[in-house]
Amino acid sequence: MRMLNGAEVSALLDYPSLIQALHQGFAGDFSAPPRSLYPLSEGQHDAFALLPAWNERYISVKAFTYLPQNVKKKRPVLHSLLMLFARESGEPLAYIDGVAVTCARTAAVSALAAFHLARPDASSLLLLGTGNLAMPLLRAHLAIRPLRHITLWGRNAAKVKALWHQAIAELLPLYPGLHIQIAEDVVSAQQTHQIIIAATGSAEPLLFGELIAAGTHVDLLGNHNVDKRECDSALVQKARVFVDDKHNVLKEAGELLLPIAEGCFHETQILGDLAALCRGGFLPLASAQTAAQLPPARQQHSDITLFKSVGTALSDLLCAALVYERKLKAEQQSE
């Protein structure tokens, strides 16, 4: 049985291949039971979770601990381990670092959703957030879309500047025509970008329906709390709403649960999940004339689309399977 650490996971993955693997996996047959989340303490939000999934080739389960108070002790907030089994025999195949898998698949899912939901001609991206997901998100979106403008925003000016320097150093050599800048303020920035990604820990809305321009695609992935949200209810009302997993989102995502509680949105208004997007058959196009220009989930260029994700066990499985198969191939080539 193999054991793969975070550095090995990162070295074995590339975003074009991972995004393609996710697309094929979500379009196929799979099972992903509701994840089990166990609160560990009152008031501190400490938690332990198990995320199982399987398809015709593999079974996986990811376990993680989340202890937000670790920040004060300068320790990682999240620890995670993924186990991969053979579906046919049940044989355990690998232990894989779950944090690296989670980071890579989260970025890849964001890019995959944008592939299906953003305008095909979208070339500008606004990223809210400066955490560990920031650079993976930029790399994933650049891997499948010829972006020309990237704008960065965060609440901590020093962290935004550090992210900007890192992006300049690592991305411009690969994409010499790319322009990367820091937003002066989030209010004006959200009005002028075609793709907006929110990957923050904000408890209050940062994105507002009255400000988002027609044709924008919004991706919300930073919040997992029922009483917090990265956008206001007006944006949810204006948008064509999609999710990664409806069951998980309706248990965890304040972005949708709060508008539902307010009576201005209903869960039946969620138009599809990631599997439906990848299978492509959940909604008809507005007309035959738009088929060549628009992805199936977008009825017209002026649509605002919103994708809310909280993570799925299937994306963990698909990422881990790709890592495992590439590890085997590398071992065979070295013999």
In a domain, 50, yes or no: yes
**Can you give the CATH number for the domain in which 271 is found?**
3.40.50.720
- Helix/strand/coil (H, E, C) string of the chain? CEEECHHHHHHHCCHHHHHHHHHHHHHCCCECCCCEEEECCCCCCCEEEEEEEECCCEEEEEEEEECHHHHHHCCCCEEEEEEEEECCCCCEEEEEEHHHHHHHHHHHHHHHHHHHHCCCCCCEEEEECCCCCHHHHHHHHHHHCCCCEEEEECCCHHHHHHHHHHHHHHHCCCCCCCEEEECCCHHHHCCCCCEEEECCCCCCCCECCCCCCCCCEEEECCCCCCCCCCECHHHHHHCEEEECCHHHHHHHCHHHHHHHHHCCCCHHHEEECHHHHHHCCCCCCCCHHHCCCCCCCCCCCCCCEEEECCCCHHHHHHHHHHHHHHHHHHHHHHC
Residue 9 and residue 155 share a domain: no
- What is the pLDDT, as a whole number, of residue 126? 99
Series of mean pLDDT values for 10-residue runs along the chain (335 residues): 97 97 97 92 84 98 93 92 98 98 98 96 98 98 97 97 98 97 97 98 96 98 94 98 96 97 97 93 39 68 97 98 98 88
86 and 169 in a common domain: no
Does one domain contain both 192 and 206? yes
66 and 90 in a common domain: yes
Say which CATH number the domain at 33 has: 3.30.1780.10
Q: Is residue 106 part of a domain?
A: no
As given in the structure block, the two tokens for residue 10 are: 């990162």
Q: What pairs with residue 272 in β-bridges?
A: 242
95 and 170: one domain? Answer: no
Residues 120 and 227 in one domain: yes
33 lies in the same domain as 71: yes
Does a structural domain hold residue 33? yes
Q: Distance between CA 109 and CA 102 in Å, rounded? A: 10
pLDDT given for residue 102 in this prediction: 97
| Residue 270 CB neighbour total at 10 angstroms | 19
In a domain, 335, yes or no: no
- In this structure, the answer to whether residues 132 and 87 fall within a common structural domain is no
12 and 139: one domain?
no
What confidence score (pLDDT) does residue 284 get? 38
The verdict on residue 107 lying in a domain is no
For 13, the domain range is: 2-101+314-330
Question: Residue 280: inside a domain, yes or no?
Answer: yes
Are 123 and 15 in the same domain?
Answer: no
Task: Give the pLDDT score at 139.
Answer: 99
Contact by Cβ (8 Å): 167, 138: yes
Strands of 149-153's sheet in order across: 179-182, 149-153, 124-128, 195-198, 217-220, 305-308, 240-243, 270-272
* Same domain (yes/no): 57, 185: no
pLDDT at position 221 is 98
Sheet holding 78-86, edge to edge: 2-4, 92-97, 78-86, 58-66, 47-54, 36-39
The total number of structural domains that make up the chain: 2
Residue 174 sits in the same domain as residue 92: no
Residue 184 forms part of a structural domain: yes
Task: Give residue 37's pLDDT.
Answer: 87
> How far is Cα 238 from Cα 243, in angstroms, rounded to an integer?
15
Q: Give the torsion sign (CA, 185, 189, 190, 195).
A: negative
